[in-house]
Chains A and B, each alone.
Chain A
């Protein structure tokens, strides 16, 4: 056995404590009446989605008000998948009357709707999907409403604009971008949709978005390399030689590795294995501890040994967030997540310079008692880390003039349990991308077509859509809307516009085949709606809307092109 270090003197009463946990005298037995939590009708209705975003996500959804500007199959398909999971309210804004073409593509219309206001008709059929959701129609010209009553737009949680005129799209984007310019101003995400035949595009404009739970694969912070005191004491207290083989084969692998790491450090000047020889030696020592060849817990420990020399630290993405100005300097107008991250950077500034311990523990081969005991160690550490974190948080809140209760306990706890699962997205303005400035300019400059990489075709599709939008502004109609003969003429005009967008990229006055083909496919659709494309994009938009409203999962940032000719898609940040 490697010699133990000076800390051995501090060996506490952990063994007895561990034995205590097997004692069931105070445990509840089957005779105690357990309250029934049989779910109510609402929980049963939403059961399959609550398993994804839980009650916190559902609460956000149930307070969301969504505006749809324009009324077509794509927009209504998106609303369908938002009404079903139970948003609070939706409004459809459109001055148009229903045509038979609308009915033929949009499931939320009926032949009886022909001639009636389309917004009113679609609201009626969408509301049927969920009695808990309010819906209303606003039969007005969006462009004039933007001028006469801009507050109408900023009263929503989220705005969808489906296949509206390019100029209206930009005016709407400008209004929302401006509104979010001031700190604390409304930052309303705008999702814009454009589709033609098999080709579709979704863009999201927002200034800043917080993700409170990205739902990472793992939330464990096992601290194998730098065990907290309780864990270290527990690992040191194990006396392998006095264990029977049953007990020995049920030590959780986490404890095996923590113990082996401590012993190694004791005999290596406080260092963990670094070179590959040392790592191999470490594993050899583990193997020698086995009392039988096939101890599953030791097999697990050997497989997980690499974690001992992997450093416990704040994930890279989170470190990037901590140096952001909005996190470094917080005020009473800061978002909760920014204040929490600000507190986290203070938290890690003091030893042991590690993020808070998570109470979660993966399942592992172990006896119940050893496992539950180990789990309790993590839970205790989490509680004490949480207390320290809250102390720092309350100081910060006081400093910026907010009271202790301004961030709910539930939110603080979920942050501390899972600091690796947050994120902040910084958006760009739609106008910048539409005008070919900023990031898209760089993408155009670096563009290279690759026939084996579908995303390069999708990029060309995006430019074809962009060029078509400029065609619309010029001609007040979409390319390809007319009959067959007009195709080549329209296509040629769009090609000219695209050449302008490519500028220096369009060598010798010509453009690559992929652009010609992309324009041809986009114009083929004539900016009409294929019900399948509408349903696909509607689903994509609804997923993104749910992610934005619940602040869970990572949303699109900021453009996706869907090419249903080739059944593929690609996303870009413009």
Chain B
């Protein structure tokens, strides 16, 4: 096997001869070869083993990593060491100092640079012979044809909407063409806990099937924030949600700008003092407005390792892959729970059945929309509703909003008349959802 050296920064001639010796030494993979050369008691029938399996892994397979953050850095490391040789990575973010406690491919001097670029370069330097292609952009910027080139997609994302998008995209691809079934391996962490799962689009339950497992974001009622604050969080929300737009008009709040956080912190502190509420701190202010989730290297290591272990098993069939969900809980001893999450027949992305929505006969459209935004299985916040005759209510663009706003006050049953179906779209929803209304 010949390997290309994608490395311009090695020190001198001496090292490059050592490097050549290393790259031509096929015994270096001895540990991994043990499980690729021989089957285990639980290995699947279709496992070939030997050179063919190794060739596919090391020279033919192509794998996409989404996210070059806490999980992404670990995933890239593991894939490169496991023998995946053609890796792409997408991340639109740049490096922040608060990443350095876990995103171990980055250094202080990298702050401000592209995560995808720095991570790719680091991996290629440390693991010579591996090719990592970085993409400093959004997953949504790439056409379907881009995703078609990969065998496996591994996602280490912190964004729910990005997960929903890639999941829906891969399900759509598999629905359109059996040949385009790309396993999606998804990881996520929070503090000492995390989960890894394997999604075979159209075959197993998909990300959208389990959307109701997410803990809903803590939303404080506006009246509490405005009138009866009790917690420091209420004061911080008051500063960011109500005061910022009032004082700064069209200037958008940038939660990454320390001056903006400073302003919120001062406003929230003043309000807290006024109401004799204790506990507004800079860290809490930043945590509330950025919705910060605690993150540590060790948990990312565990979950990323699990994801890459599944990638190795899928690519080589050397052991059965995860069917289909593993949770890791580390705050109370060590606990894992492995189970099969089942497909949801009415899943808007992979299910065939339509969703029903219950509505009261005296409900206004506004009341109905509120009930939709409270649904755990939809997780939407700014839905646009349409029906056979056109727009029912769209929050944007402004002219449609103005035209449909009066509908909010009207009774749903009057608006719909004989019509039974509504189409819902939302920025968070990767697909449009057909709802049939059931009056109760």
Contact = CB atoms under 8 A, between A and B. Distances in A.
A149 to B, nearest CB: 31
A371 B306 CA distance: 46
Contact of B309 (A110, A567, A569): A567
B18 A112 contact: yes
A80 B297 contact: yes
A526 B34 contact: yes
Interface stretch (B275-283, B362-370, B372-380, B395-403): B275-283
A538 B258 CA distance: 35
B82 A128 contact: no
Contacts of B338: 454, 566-568
B274 interface: yes
B320 interface: yes
Interface in B247-268: 258, 261-262, 265-267
A288 interface: no
Of B196, B230, B310, B319, most buried by chain A (CB within 10 Å of CB) is B230
Contacts of B107: 128
B309 A540 contact: no
B100 to A, nearest CB: 5
Contacts of B81: 73, 104-105, 107, 531
Contacts of A43: 283
Contact of A21 (B40, B127, B228, B276): B276
Nearest to A483: B37
B347 interface: no
A555 B332 CA distance: 7
A476 interface: no
A45 B270 contact: no
B34 A37 contact: no
B34 A85 contact: no
B82 A532 contact: yes
Interface residues of B, number: 96
A480 B97 CA distance: 45
B294 A29 contact: no
Nearest to B310: A567
Contacts of B281: 37
The listed residue with most A CB atoms (<10 A of its CB), out of B18, B31, B271, B336, is B31
A444 interface: no
Given A34-B269, A77-B301, A524-B38, 12 more contacts: A51-B292, A85-B101, A104-B29, A111-B15, A371-B228, A484-B38, A530-B312, A539-B298, A540-B298, A543-B296, A544-B334, A554-B332
Nearest to B19: A111
B310 A543 contact: no
Contacts of A51: 283, 287, 292, 294
- Chain B CB within 10 Å, residue with most, of A128, A524, A571: A524
Interface residues of A, number: 97
Q: From DSSP, what is the main secondary structure of chain B's interface residues? A: helix
A377 to B, nearest CB: 13
A462 B71 CA distance: 29
B308 A532 contact: yes
A47 B282 CA distance: 11
B262 A36 contact: yes
A167 interface: no
Contacts of B98: 44-45, 47-48
**Most central of A47, A544, A555 by chain B CB within 10 Å:** A47
Contacts of A215: 331
A233 interface: no
A111 B31 contact: no
B46 to A, nearest CB: 16
Interface string A23-44: 0100111101010111101011
Which interface residue of A28, A81, A454, A568 has the most chain B CB atoms within 10 A? Answer: A81
A37 B269 CA distance: 12
Contacts of B128: 111
A56 interface: no
A286 interface: no
Given A38-B282, A45-B100, A51-B294, A568 B273 contact: no
Given A84-B101, A543-B192, A565 B319 contact: yes
A366 B302 CA distance: 43
B217 to A, nearest CB: 16
25 contacts: A30-B267, A34-B269, A37-B282, A81-B296, A104-B31, A107-B126, A111-B19, A112-B18, A197-B35, A198-B35, A198-B319, A250-B228, A363-B231, A366-B230, A524-B35, A525-B35, A528-B30, A530-B309, A531-B77, A532-B82, A536-B305, A543-B296, A556-B333, A567-B306, A567-B322
A41 B97 contact: yes
Contacts of A530: 31-32, 35, 82, 309, 312
Contacts of A364: 230
A84 B334 contact: no
Nearest to A44: B97
A448 interface: no
Contact of A566 (B42, B273, B274): B42
Contacts of A484: 37-38
Nearest to B220: A363
B86 interface: no
B179 to A, nearest CB: 27
A382 to B, nearest CB: 13
B54 interface: no
B90 interface: no
Contacts of A517: 41-42
A41 B100 CA distance: 11
Contacts of A214: 332
A539 B298 CA distance: 4
A521 B41 contact: yes
Contacts of A524: 34-35, 38-40
A29 B272 CA distance: 9
B246 interface: no
Contacts of B304: 535
A543 B299 contact: yes
Interface stretch (B20-28, B199-207, B432-440): B20-28
A368 interface: yes
Given A112-B18, A112-B19, A543-B192, A566 B320 contact: yes
A468 to B, nearest CB: 14
Interface string B32-58: 101101111110000000000000000
A46 interface: yes
B275 A368 contact: yes
Interface in B134-166: none
Contact of B97 (A45, A554, A567): A45
Across the A-B interface, the 10 shortest Cβ-Cβ residue pairs: A528-B31, A539-B301, A28-B273, A539-B302, A535-B305, A111-B22, A531-B81, A536-B305, A542-B298, A517-B41
Given A101-B30, A565-B319, A52 B282 contact: no
Contacts of A516: 41
A473 interface: no
A536 B309 contact: yes
Interface in B320-367: 320, 322, 326, 330-336, 338
Nearest to B233: A363
A352 B11 CA distance: 74
Nearest to A37: B282
Given A28-B274, A41-B97, A81 B297 contact: yes
Nearest to B280: A34
B191 interface: yes
A414 B269 CA distance: 25
Contacts of B269: 34
Interface string A500-526: 000000000000000011001100111
Given A44-B98, A107-B77, A366-B228, A553 B28 contact: no
